[in-house]
Structure 1
Amino acid sequence: MIDLRPVAYVLGRILIVLALLMLAPAVLDWRAGDPNGFDIFRAALITFFTGMAVALATSNTGARSLDVRQAYLLTASIWIIAPLFAALPLMLGAPGLPLAYAWFEAVSGLTTTGATVIVGLDNLPAGMNLWRVMCNWLGGLGIAFIAMIFLPLMRIGGMQFFRTEAFDTLGKALPRAADIARQLLYIYVVLTFICIITFLIIGMPPFIAVSHGLSAVSTGGFSPYDSSFSGYRGAGEYFGALFMFLGSLPFVRYVQMVNGQPMQFWRDQQIRSYLIWLLTAVLMVTLWRVLDKGTSFEPTFREALFNMTSIMSSTGTFSGDFSGWGGFALVMALLIGIIGGCSGSTAAGLSVFRVQIAMAALRRQIGQIFHPSQVSPIRYQARPVDEDVIRAVTMYIATYILLLGLVSVTLTLIGLDLQSALFAAWTCLGNIGYGFGPMVARTGTFIDFPPAAIFVLSLTMIIGRLGILTMLILLLPVFWRR
């Protein structure tokens, strides 16, 4: 059997940190004279003492390093258990959500999906809105750390291709995970600070600038407004798109830049393709709306840039009425949302890297039809791609598409209409945050979905964030044997 104590010890410490962070929104509401501050404090106490009890009970194993199986278990456990405690403020305080819906909101925050079940965000206590975007920011940081450290070691979805690259960023010697974690934290904080200062300069109030800054860099999508980013047209849309884009780039490139290798950004095939594909989608949607509706080019381009960047970066913040743009825009959004941002970032979806590898494998397969004896190795970033990476990527993409269909069918059996079911599966599996369809149209949220659908979508967000194989492997009996 797997020794669960090291996993429980780490989880306990994570819950302690989560509890301490809850004090910030609690104090914010207390200072405003809102009794919601006490409700958040109660949630912090429950989380703190639970985490402390677990950590103390397993403290004799805290110094042990995790093996691969424990890493799998820890990765899955964090995104299942942490949202249960992050949901406590939403249950004990405003808006007083039931467990299923509070867990959905917390999962959406920590997986940086951005979908919500809360109507009336403008009237929600400031501390609760702060807690929501803090969940986005914390989830984005955790995802970036796992993408750089854990996923390459766990060989998930072809991420083993980045194993050597990620751990060689500080020189020839193999650095400890803590070294990369410290640099990643520094980069993440600095990028967030620059984003907040930028939003302040263009005229956002301090609380709104902090909220949107935490949400943009983490590609999380939560906003303190029901109208999301719609109140900050113009410069707000341009800079919002910029920071969502920056948050969806491989963080290993930022680490390399800090260590004196800035040219690695432009040499990265992922980043170049991501930029080209995104701008192509933006221009196509812009030209289609200009020609079809006769709208002016600049505001149409600006709205398309913001919303398409939000979708492809799997952020979920929106500006304007994107759902009313027509079928072509929705189809384009569906496509780029499935592709997603770059591997090794806070973005989700299939990732540009996996799509590139799949396209290269397809080209090779077509070439071998005409030249059966030809040997055509696939190369990426001037490095040969092992066959096990190609197989892992192919399996990941096939499983992703299969799961998209399976979740859609499941939601229709629960009672959703086909459009709402398809786009709900799409937005949760890709951690995108946008909702379309009749069941979303009334409020722009997922509050009208039945509890069974909310539970399915919560699991879908976790699976989309970590990869279905990470979850399925835990169900195999062989995983739990020595």
Structure 2
Amino acid sequence: MVDFRPIAYVFGRILIVMAILMLGPAAIDWSVGDENASALLFSALITGGIGGLIALATVNGLGGSFDIRQAYLLTAVIWFGLPVFAGLPFMLGVPNLHFTEAYFEAVSGITTTGATVIYGLDGMPPGMNLWRGLLNAAGGLGIAFVAMIFLPVMRVGGMQFFRTEGFDTFGKALPRATDIAKQLLGLYLGLILAAGVTYAAIGMTPLDATVHAMASIATGGFSPRDASFNPYVGAGEYLGALFMFLGSLPYVRYVQLINGDMRPLWRDSQIRAYVKVLGFAVGSVTLWRWLTSDMEFEDVFRESLFNLTSIMSSTGFFTGSFPLWGGYMLVVAFVIGMIGACSGSSASGLSVFRGQLMWAALVQQLRQIVSPGRMAPVKYEGRTVGPDVLDALILYVAGFILTLGVLTVAMTLTGVDTTSSLFAVWTSLGNIGYGFGPIVERTGTFVDLPDAAKWIMTLAMLLGRLGLLTIFVLVLPRFWQR
């Protein structure tokens, strides 16, 4: 029998933290005399009050360590439960969304997807735009912890391969979990601060610089402007691409770097592969667009660099007319969006690591066909990849593709056209945030989708963020019978 008290206690404590975070946006709106401050304050009182009651009622459940079932349940409870409270400001204040849209917006922020149902961001109270940025920042930090610690332990999608390379490395260099948390928090906030100062230096307003900085490092994509980065073309695109790239690298490498060892960062084959794939995508799309349009080469390169980095890092910012280019660009965008960035970061998608392993396994099978007597194990960075890792990897990739197809069909049944359905599920499952297709062209948002389609996207965002199997395993009767 699963003891739910430790799970509820942790969830209650997290709700208290979320309530405290709401006070910052409330103070911003209060300082400018915006009545929306009362909605944020009331949301904070509800969230903090319920969180405090849950924590007090379950404090007697503390004492032991979490087992594997509790780890799965805690992960699911946090990511499914937090958006209920994170969406309260969207319902009680501007923009006065109904529950479906508020939950969608909150899930998109916490999962760092960046898809939105809000049109008219420029006229929103500053506190509400700050709250959206804080959702991205909080979600990105939480995802970093899950990616570095929980997923390897829970053996999700082949991530157990990192148990010796990531988590155990921490165990040797940083014996206590609190040391990991402190260093990761300091690193994360430091990157956000660096991005914010840089954005402010190129002319962004304080609000724009703060929100864009949080969304860039968290690879979240929420912007306080409907036009996203378009008001800051030029230097903003180059710098935005840089910080989105930095936010999509494995956090374990940064922690090792600040502990005095930079060799893993330079030697990481996943990072090198990420740079190569992104470089090929940017180079080929730039050449294609330059030869088929009347745009200047530098303009094409800058737009391609920013937008493709945004897609592959699963951020969701955009500039120029890039979403309308179509053709070859759309194919490249779809592929790199599926691949995603690096495992162990706040980015999503299948991940470069899994792509490398799939390629290595394919090459090994082809060699086996050519030379049946040859026994060559699959290797990654010189280490043999065990059958358990490959089995989990194949199951995860197959599940990802199958989920993409099933949810796309389900969305078409709600009345959405095929193109919009495919890319809506693609952007949700990969936590990318980009919108393509006729339905999103009017506003650049997903506000025109029917509610049923929004719920499908919401489910896809959560499935993609939690690695599919983390959720699917919860519906198995055997999981509850252990």
Is the 1:119–1:443 contact (alpha carbons within 8 Å) kept by the matching residues of 2? yes
1:353 corresponding residue in structure 2: 353
Q: Is residue 375 of structure 1 aligned with residue 375 of structure 2?
A: yes
1:234 corresponding residue in structure 2: 234
Deviations 1:259-282 (A, max 9, x none): 111121110010000001001100
1:84 corresponding residue in structure 2: 84
What's the CA shift for 1:379?
1.4
2:468 corresponding residue in structure 1: 468
1:297 corresponding residue in structure 2: 297
Amino acid corresponding to residue 209 of structure 1 in structure 2: A
Amino acid corresponding to residue 138 of structure 1 in structure 2: A
Is the 1:169–1:252 contact (alpha carbons within 8 Å) kept by the matching residues of 2? no
What's the CA shift for 1:250?
0.3
Q: CA 1:174–1:479 in 2, change beyond 3 Å: closer, same or farther?
A: farther
Is the 1:2–1:481 contact (alpha carbons within 8 Å) kept by the matching residues of 2? no
Is the 1:286–1:304 contact (alpha carbons within 8 Å) kept by the matching residues of 2? yes
Q: 2: CA distance between counterparts of 1:176 and 1:477?
A: 35
Q: Secondary structure at the match of 1:113?
A: coil
What's the CA shift for 1:326?
2.4
1:244 corresponding residue in structure 2: 244
What's the CA shift for 1:176?
3.1
2:256 corresponding residue in structure 1: 256
1:209 corresponding residue in structure 2: 209
1:7 corresponding residue in structure 2: 7
1:102 corresponding residue in structure 2: 102
Amino acid corresponding to residue 32 of structure 1 in structure 2: V
Q: 1: CA distance between counterparts of 2:143 and 2:166?
A: 15
Q: 1: CA distance between counterparts of 2:195 and 2:174?
A: 32
Q: 2: CA distance between counterparts of 1:136 and 1:472?
A: 25
Q: 2: CA distance between counterparts of 1:202 and 1:142?
A: 29
Q: 2: CA distance between counterparts of 1:216 and 1:89?
A: 23
What's the CA shift for 1:174?
6.9
1:113 corresponding residue in structure 2: 113
Q: 1: CA distance between counterparts of 2:222 and 2:392?
A: 32
TM, length-normalised to structure 1: 0.99
Amino acid corresponding to residue 314 of structure 2 in structure 1: S
What's the CA shift for 1:35?
0.7
2:286 corresponding residue in structure 1: 286
TM, length-normalised to structure 2: 0.99
Identity of aligned residues (%): 59
Q: 1: CA distance between counterparts of 2:399 and 2:444?
A: 29
Amino acid corresponding to residue 375 of structure 1 in structure 2: M
Is the 1:170–1:259 contact (alpha carbons within 8 Å) kept by the matching residues of 2? no
2:22 corresponding residue in structure 1: 22
1:365 corresponding residue in structure 2: 365
Larger CA deviation: 385-394 vs 89-98: 385-394
Amino acid corresponding to residue 416 of structure 1 in structure 2: V
Larger CA deviation: 444-453 vs 319-328: 319-328
2:93 corresponding residue in structure 1: 93
What's the CA shift for 1:391?
1.1
Q: 2: CA distance between counterparts of 1:148 and 1:186?
A: 16
Alignment map for 1:10-159 (pairs within 5 Å): 10-159=10-159
Is the 1:167–1:174 contact (alpha carbons within 8 Å) kept by the matching residues of 2? no
1:391 corresponding residue in structure 2: 391
Deviations 1:253-303 (A, max 9, x none): 001101111121110010000001001100111000100113211111000
Deviations 1:350-399 (A, max 9, x none): 00000000000000111111111111111112211111111111111111
Q: 2: CA distance between counterparts of 1:280 and 1:337?
A: 14
2:160 corresponding residue in structure 1: 160
Q: CA 1:316–1:373 in 2, change beyond 3 Å: closer, same or farther?
A: same
Unaligned stretches of 5+ in structure 1? none
Is the 2:115–2:435 contact (alpha carbons within 8 Å) kept by the matching residues of 1? yes
